[in-house]
Structures are given as structure tokens and as C-alpha cells.
Amino acid sequence: MRRGFSLVELLAVIGVIAVLIGIALPAFAGVLRTAKSVRCQANLRSILSGLQGYRDDHLGLIPWSSVTQSTGKDPGAFGVLADYIGVPVPAESQDGIYEQIEPYVCPADIGLSELYGFSYAYRPSSFMQVMPEDWSRREAMEIIKFFSEPQVFQNGVRYPQGAPVMMDSLRFHLPGSRGRHYPHDDLRGYNQAFLDGSVRAGK
């Protein structure tokens, strides 16, 4: 007579396989999250390269824009930088969904880029929103100082190279964050790019 596996043996094998899968899945998720973060950092370096090209042509200044994406009157920071980056900004389709184009879209984006076309924020825009238009040249160097001189945020994170000039719009890279907004000075989970050309991973 041919002897097969007993029910207990089958259950034991299934249990071992389930345990192995349980061990492997978190590790795989971590590897996938790291891969997306690395691609995101490469996107930010591409954008930084375009920003440096703009600065070379404009006496070291950065684009004066109160928004990241284009509006009716303001081409937005990425609209200004598109020629320097060498990639046109995402176009909106008839159904209101934007194209997904690197380097403007983070691979860990959870749908924000479909609504706005971009996963990244131009941080100087938050300062430029509240400044009178006639300050755009007179005070531009003061803004550049903030993004080029050492900064310490309230959560104790030190930025010897200055504040980040480009970063994820939402917290995409911290496990369990699900892209939520967090306090302005808490930059964990955001990949960040700096005027000196460096990129910092969001951890």
C-alpha cells in the first residue's frame, strides 16, 4: 500500500510555510519601501540639477513663485524649471487626472500626483506667499539665506546645509504614515533636497 501524508503532517507543513511567509513579507516590504525612496531621491537630484541651472542663469537666485504647480497667473516653480530639468510638466487630462511623469512623481505617492501633477513641494513658496510682490528681488537673498545657512528645527533635527528647498509634499516614506500632514517643523518621512545639491532620505 502507498502511504500518503497524514492530516497532521500537512497542517505542520502549512504552518511552517505560513511562518516563513510571515517572516519574509515585512522584509520584502522594507526592501520595496527602500527602493521607492531611492528612486524618489534620484527624482529630487534631477530637479535640483535643473534648479542649479536656473541659478547659474539668474545670478544665484531661486525661482520666485508662490506655488509649486501652475495657476492662472503663476507658472509655478516647476513650470519655471521645466526647461532646465528637460522634462515638460504633467498635463491634465479631460477627466481631471494628471499625467504621471518622472521626475515630478514620487514612486511612493499615494494619489496626490494624480490630483495635482506633482509629488514634490517647492518650500520657498510658503515664504513667497506672504511677501509683497515688490519684495521679490529686494528680499530674495534673505530667503536664500534661510535655505543655505545652518538651521535647527524644533524637533532637534539639524541641517548644517540649510533648510530643504524641495521635498515630498506628504510623508510618503515613513512606515504607517499613509502620507498624512505633520507639523511644519517635523520633517521625518520626507525626502529632502538642499541648495548645496545634497539629498537627505526621510527616516
Kindly state whether residue 81 falls inside one of the protein's structural domains. yes
First and final CA of the chain: distance in angstroms?
Answer: 60
Kindly state whether residue 20 falls inside one of the protein's structural domains. yes
Number of domains the chain is built from: 1
Q: What is the mean pLDDT of residues 18-35?
A: 71
**Domain carrying residue 163:** 7-200
- At which residue does the C-alpha cell 517635523 appear? 186
How sure is the predictor about 196, in pLDDT bands with cuts at 50, 70 and 90?
very high
Kindly state whether residue 92 falls inside one of the protein's structural domains. yes
* 3-state DSSP of 155-183: CCCEECCCCCCEEECCCCCCCCCCCCCCC
With beta carbons less than 8 A apart as the criterion, state whether 109 and 119 touch: yes
Q: Reduced to 3 states, what is the DSSP secondary structure of residue 85?
A: helix
- At which residue does the C-alpha cell 521607492 appear? 36
Beta bridge partners of 168: 120
Summarised one tens digit per residue, pLDDT across range 142-164 is 788 888 889 887 667 788 888 89
Kindly state whether residue 27 falls inside one of the protein's structural domains. yes
Kindly state whether residue 11 falls inside one of the protein's structural domains. yes
Percent of the chain with pLDDT over 70: 77
Kindly state whether residue 87 falls inside one of the protein's structural domains. yes
C-alpha cell at 69: 504647480
For residues 22 and 16, what is the distance between their CA atoms, to the nearest angstrom?
Answer: 10
In 4-75, where does DSSP find H-type helix? 7-57
For residues 172 and 105, what is the distance between their CA atoms, to the nearest angstrom?
Answer: 12
State which amino acid sits at residue 150. Answer: P
Q: What is the mean pLDDT of residues 135-146?
A: 74
Model pLDDT, residue 42:
96
Summarised one tens digit per residue, pLDDT across range 48-73 is 999 999 999 998 889 888 777 766 56
For residue 79, give every residue at least 6 positions away whose Cβ sits within 8 Å of its Cβ, in sequence order, or none. Answer: 65, 69, 70, 89
Asked whether the predicted pLDDT for residue 137 surpasses 80, the reply is no
The most confident of the ranges 9-13, 26-30, 169-173 is 169-173
Kindly state whether residue 1 falls inside one of the protein's structural domains. no
Summarised one tens digit per residue, pLDDT across range 74-124 is 678 898 999 999 999 888 888 888 888 989 999 999 888 888 889 999 988
